[in-house]
Amino acid sequence: MKTKRSLKRKLILSAVLAGILILIAIFSEVLAPNDPYQTNAAMIRKAPSAMYWFGTDNLGRCVFSRVLYGAKTTIFATFLLVAISFVIGTLIGMLCGYYGGIVDEALMRLADLTLAFPQMVVAIAVAGMLGGGLVGAMIALGITMWTTFARLARSHTRTVKQEPYITAAKLSGKSGCYIILRHILPNILEPVLISALTQIGTTMIGISGLSFLGLGVVAPQAEWGSMISEARAYIQIAPWAVLFPAGATIVTIIVFNYLGDALVEYRNHP
Amino acid sequence: MKDTLLNIVNLSLAYEDELVVDQINLKLHSDEILCIVGESGSGKTTLLRGICRDKNVLVLSGDVQMDLNRMGVISQNPNGAFNPLRRFDKQLRETLVSNGLEYREQEILDLFERIGLQDGASILRSRPFEMSGGMNQRIAIAATMLLEPKMLLCDEPTSALDVTSANLVVDLLCRYRQKKHVGILLITHNLGIAAKMADRVAIMQKGRIIESGTTDEIFGNPKEAYTKQLMADVPKLVG
| Residue A16 is assigned to a structural domain of this protein | no
Nearest Cβ partner for B81 among A164, A173, A182: A164
Give the model's pLDDT for residue B18: 87
Which tens digit of pLDDT belongs to each residue from B161-208? 888 888 888 888 898 899 889 999 999 988 888 999 999 999 999 999
Asked if residue B67 lies in contact with residue B7, where contact means CB atoms within 8 angstroms, the answer is no
Q: How far apart are CA A89 and CA A136, in angstroms?
A: 19
Counting Cα atoms < 13 Å in the Cβ hemisphere of A88 gives 16
Comparing B25 with B99, which gets the higher pLDDT? B25
Residues of B with CB under 8 A from a CB of A: 73, 75, 77, 80-86, 91, 94-95, 98-99
Q: Where are the alpha helices (DSSP H) in chain A?
A: 4-26, 28-31, 63-99, 101-115, 119-130, 134-160, 164-171, 176-178, 185-212, 224-231, 240-268
Percent of chain A topping pLDDT 90: 79
Q: Report residue B231's pLDDT band, with 50, 70 and 90 as the boundaries.
A: confident
Q: Given phi > 0 = left and psi -120 to 50 = alpha, else beta, which region is B236?
A: beta
Cα distances from A18 to residues A22, A93, A253, A256, B166, in angstroms, run 6, 28, 10, 6, 47
CATH for A248: 1.10.3720.10
Angle between helices B133-146 and B105-114 (to 10 degrees): 120
Comparing A250 with A219, which gets the higher pLDDT? A250
Q: Do A172 and B82 touch (CB under 8 A)?
A: no
Q: Report residue A80's pLDDT band, with 50, 70 and 90 as the boundaries.
A: very high
| CATH code at B1-67+150-163+172-239 | 3.40.50.300
Give the model's pLDDT for residue A140: 92
Give the model's pLDDT for residue B1: 66
3-state DSSP assignment of residue B26: strand
CB contacts of A183 in chain B (<8 Å) are 83, 86
Asked if residue A55 lies in contact with residue A19, where contact means CB atoms within 8 angstroms, the answer is no
Instruction: Please give, rounded to a whole number of angstroms, the shortest distance from the CA of A102 to a CA of chain B.
Output: 19
CB contacts of A187 in chain B (<8 Å) are 83-85
Buried b (16+ CB within 10 A) or exposed e, B131-169: beebbbbbbbbbbbbbeebbbbbbbbbbbbbeeebbbbb
Examine the pLDDT at A189 and tell me if it is beyond 60. yes
Instruction: Please give, rounded to a whole number of angstroms, the shortest distance from the CA of A121 to a CA of chain B.
Output: 41
The closest of B76, B99, B70, B74 to B6, measured between CA atoms, is: B70
Q: Do B81 and A173 touch (CB under 8 A)?
A: no
| Beta strands across the sheet bearing B208-214 | B71-74, B151-155, B183-188, B32-37, B200-205, B208-214
Q: Do B81 and A182 touch (CB under 8 A)?
A: no
What value of ipTM does the predicted structure carry? 0.76
- Alpha-carbon dihedral of residues A215, A216, A220, A222, nearest 10 degrees? -150
Give the model's pLDDT for residue A172: 82
Examine the pLDDT at A129 and tell me if it is beyond 70. yes
Q: Do A165 and B95 touch (CB under 8 A)?
A: no
Q: Residue B5 burial by CB count (10 A; 0-12/13-18/19+): exposed, middle or buried?
A: buried
| Residue A83 is assigned to a structural domain of this protein | yes
List, in sequence order, every residue forming a beta bridge with B160; answer none if it has no partner: none
Q: Do B81 and A183 touch (CB under 8 A)?
A: no
Q: Do B94 and A187 touch (CB under 8 A)?
A: no
Which chain B residue shows the shortest CA-CA distance from A169? B95
- DSSP letter for A172, please: T
Q: How many CB atoms lie within 10 A of CB A152?
A: 20
Q: How are beta strands B183-188 and B151-155 bridged, if at all?
A: parallel
Mutate to test the interface with A, among B83, B129, B136 (most CBs of A within 10 A): B83
Q: Report residue A166's pLDDT band, with 50, 70 and 90 as the boundaries.
A: very high
Percent of chain B topping pLDDT 70: 97
3-state DSSP assignment of residue B163: helix
C-alpha torsion sign, points A107, A112, A118, A121: negative
Domain boundaries, chain B: 1-67+150-163+172-239, 82-149
Examine the pLDDT at B56 and tell me if it is beyond 90. no
| Beta strands across the sheet bearing B18-29 | B18-29, B4-15, B58-66
CB contacts of B94 in chain A (<8 Å) are 169, 172
List, in sequence order, every residue forming a beta bridge with B36; answer none if it has no partner: B187, B202
The closest of A68, A71, A89, A9 to A269, measured between CA atoms, is: A9
Write the single-letter amino acid at B239: G
Instruction: Please give, rounded to a whole number of angstroms, the shortest distance from the CA of B82 to a CA of chain A.
Output: 5
- DSSP letter for A234, please: G
Examine the pLDDT at A12 and tell me if it is beyond 90. yes
Which tens digit of pLDDT belongs to each residue from B2-27? 788 999 999 999 987 888 999 999 99
Q: Report residue B237's pLDDT band, with 50, 70 and 90 as the boundaries.
A: low
Q: How far apart are CA A259 and CA B116, in angstroms?
A: 45
Cα distances from A97 to residues A94, A150, B116, B139, in angstroms, run 5, 9, 40, 29
| Residue A33 is assigned to a structural domain of this protein | no
Domain that holds residue A157: 77-258
Q: How many CB atoms lie within 10 A of CB A37?
A: 15
Mutate to test the interface with B, among A162, A163, A170 (most CBs of B within 10 A): A163
Q: How far apart are CA A7 and CA B212, in angstroms?
A: 56
| Residue A267 is assigned to a structural domain of this protein | no
Which chain B residue shows the shortest CA-CA distance from A184? B83
Which tens digit of pLDDT belongs to each residue from B136-153? 988 998 898 888 899 999
Q: Report residue A68's pLDDT band, with 50, 70 and 90 as the boundaries.
A: very high
CB contacts of B127 in chain A (<8 Å) are none
Q: Residue A9 burial by CB count (10 A; 0-12/13-18/19+): exposed, middle or buried?
A: middle
Examine the pLDDT at B236 and tell me if it is beyond 70. no
Instruction: Please give, rounded to a whole number of angstroms, the shortest distance from the CA of A179 to a CA of chain B.
Output: 11
Give the model's pLDDT for residue B239: 52
Q: Report residue B115's pLDDT band, with 50, 70 and 90 as the boundaries.
A: confident
